[in-house]
Structure 1
Amino acid sequence: MVLEQRIADGTYPKGSRLPGAVPLSHEFNVAPFTAAKAVRDLKERGLVTASPGWGTFVA
C-alpha cells in the first residue's frame, strides 16, 4: 500500500497529518469511500490515529 510505504519512508513522518479522503481519492483515482477505507485499515493496524474534528495523524 502506498500510504503505508510513505509512512515507513518518512514521507509522512510521525505526528504528521494525512490528507483527507477526497484529496487521496483524487491522487489515487479512486472513490472517496475507498480512500477512507484505506485510512481506516491503517488505523486498525495502529499506524495512524484519528482525532475527530482534527484529522488523521501518523502514530
Structure 2
Amino acid sequence: MDLDRTRPLWRQIAAEIIRRIKSGTYPPGSRVPSTLEIAQEFGVVNATAAKAMRHVREQG
C-alpha cells in the first residue's frame, strides 16, 4: 500500500485493514495483526496504529 501524505495516516491504515477484512485476507475468526505489527508494517508509531485499529473496531 502506498501511503498518501495528504490524508491522515491512521485513516489510510484503517481503510487498508478494513479492505483486507472484506477481501478475506483476515477471514472471520482469524487473528488481526496487533497494533505493534501494524505499526511495523506501515512504518508508523504505535499511537497511529492504535488510532487506526480503534477506528476499525468502531466501524464494526
**Structure 2-normalised TM-score?**
0.71
Structure number having the greater helix percentage: 2
Q: What is the one-letter code of the residue matched to 1:7?
A: I
Name the counterpart of 1:31. Answer: 45
From 19, 27, 30, the equivalent of 1:5 is 19
Q: How many corresponding residue pairs?
A: 46
RMSD, matched Cα: 0.8
Q: Distance in 1 between matches of 2:52 and 2:27?
A: 18
Letter in 1 for 2:47: F
Q: TM-score scaled to structure 1, two decimals? A: 0.72
What is the aligned partner in structure 1 of residue 12 from structure 2?
Answer: none
Of Structure 1 and Structure 2, the greater strand share is in: 1
- Identity, in percent, stands at 46
